[in-house]
Structure 1
Amino acid sequence: MNGTAAVRRAVEWLASVAPDPVACRREWEQRADGVVLLPAGKSWDVLILPGGLGHATLAVLLRCLDRPGPVLAGFDEGRVGFLVPPGTAGRWLGTGVRAVGRGAWVVVPRPGRARGGRMRWLVPPDGTGLLTDPVLLEIAMHEAVAGLTEC
């Protein structure tokens, strides 16, 4: 993500889902690991894939799209989370994919922060609300599993 304005938009967009957005931004700044817990299901859900599949799926998406929605990596790259439209978690049926939606909380690193801690952005949010289309994500997952690299 380039530019302080883009980082500011991304921080504002993410913090907007917090019960107290001002406290959320303050906590991001004060915590050494630069992460906060944010509720899923309001502006986005998260589909969490095993690391290998997640990275391969992201590679397919990056070949096919100008920009996918935000993507998180965590736990030593063992998990990759794609931010998708709210409500996706309630309809997702994919095996081996954890669907996180309304009623759940997600550990979210501050956009624009240097890598550190257990979570990082592979594709940071841009503040526009862009999310990954779950249909395209599923197709990319199938292509990743099959070892296909073309769109």
Structure 2
Amino acid sequence: MTNTVWMRGVEWLAAASADPRACKWGWDHGDGVALLEAGRYWDVLSVPDRLGLLTLDLLWRPALPVPGPTLVDTTAGRVGFFLPPDPSGGWVGAGLRYATKGSWVAVPPPYRPARALEWLVPPDGSGALHAPGTLEEALQQANGALAVLAPMCGR
């Protein structure tokens, strides 16, 4: 990622903060994590890491656009996909968590990890997010693959 893309990503992400300047200062001088409210610019669908990592792999197909911002929390074992805001929160499934208006998401800056949080696909500042239909299809494919693999892996 070029420096310009990083800076656009920083500005885009910090815009979700009540105080973007304080948010950016905290990334650089604080603990490197900001709590940002979902529901205004984006929502986050959080899934178990095995499902999320396989889903992201399926989204990296040449026929598809580059996936939207995607965050991993290695301590919690979760992958978060940034989606357009959807107040209905229509995502239902075992292990799925949906953060929308009134929910807060811990995020590092786009240019480096902080604690257990790391961008797998950092925001590029364009506002591009995961397309809900494309993400749902990839999640279903990944879930099907994991269901087949689970008995072979003893899980």
* Segments of 4+ moved more than 3 angstroms: none
Q: Verify the 8 A CA contact 1:89 1:99 in the aligned structure 2.
A: no
- What is the CA–CA distance in structure 2 between the aligned matches of 1:69 and 1:88, rounded to whole Å? 19
Q: Please state how far the C-alpha of 1:132 moved relative to its aligned partner.
A: 0.2
- What is the CA–CA distance in structure 1 between the aligned matches of 2:65 and 2:38, rounded to whole Å? 25
Match of 2:102 in 1: 103
Give runs of aligned pairs for residues 46-65 of structure 1, distance below 5 A: 46-63=44-61, 64-65=63-64
| 1:51-70 alpha-carbon deviations (Å, 9 max, x no partner) | 10000100111125230100
Match of 2:37 in 1: 39
* CA 1:89–1:132: 2 relative to 1, 3 Å: farther
- Give the gaps of 5 or more residues in structure 2: 147-155
Match of 2:141 in 1: 143
Q: Please state how far the C-alpha of 1:88 moved relative to its aligned partner.
A: 5.8
Among 114, 119, 122, the alignment partner of 1:121 is: 119
* CA 1:23–1:7: 2 relative to 1, 3 Å: same
Helix, strand or coil at the partner of 1:28: helix
- What is the CA–CA distance in structure 1 between the aligned matches of 2:66 and 2:76, rounded to whole Å? 21
- Give the gaps of 5 or more residues in structure 1: none
- What is the CA–CA distance in structure 1 between the aligned matches of 2:131 and 2:42, rounded to whole Å? 11
RMSD of the TM alignment (CA)?
1.7
- Per the normalisation by structure 1, the TM-score is 0.89
Identity, in percent, stands at: 46
Matched, 1:131 2:129: yes
Larger radius of gyration: 2
